[in-house]
């Protein structure tokens, strides 16, 4: 989910999120990103768990937040 507005259209937000995820530490590949029925997005990716802290810091710095 984006931390602050503007949230934009889902297609624009998906592309923006994809760019953030592809450049994030530990992400080898982004398989899919879909709109979640309760808000935000669901992303499926190949991810190295040893880079978890760097991944969270990266997406937070880009204005996104993680929800698990």
Residues 6+ apart with CB under 8 A from 10: 35
Q: Domain-by-domain residue ranges, the chain? A: 10-61
Q: Residue 2: what pLDDT? A: 65
**pLDDT tens string 10-54:** 788 899 999 999 999 999 999 999 998 888 899 999 999 999 999
Terminal C-alpha separation, the chain: 11
pTM assigned to the model = 0.83
Q: Annotate 15-39 with b (16+ C-beta within 10 A) or e (fewer).
A: eebbebbeebbbbeebeebeeeeee
């Amino acid at each position: 989910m984006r931390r602050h507005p503007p949230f934009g259209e889902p297609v624009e937000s998906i592309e923006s999120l994809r760019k953030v995820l592809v450049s994030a530490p530990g992400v080898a590949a982004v398989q899919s990103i879909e709109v979640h029925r309760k808000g935000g997005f669901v992303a499926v990716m190949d991810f190295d768990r040893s880079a978890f802290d760097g991944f969270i810091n990266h997406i937070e710095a880009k204005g996104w937040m993680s929800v698990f």
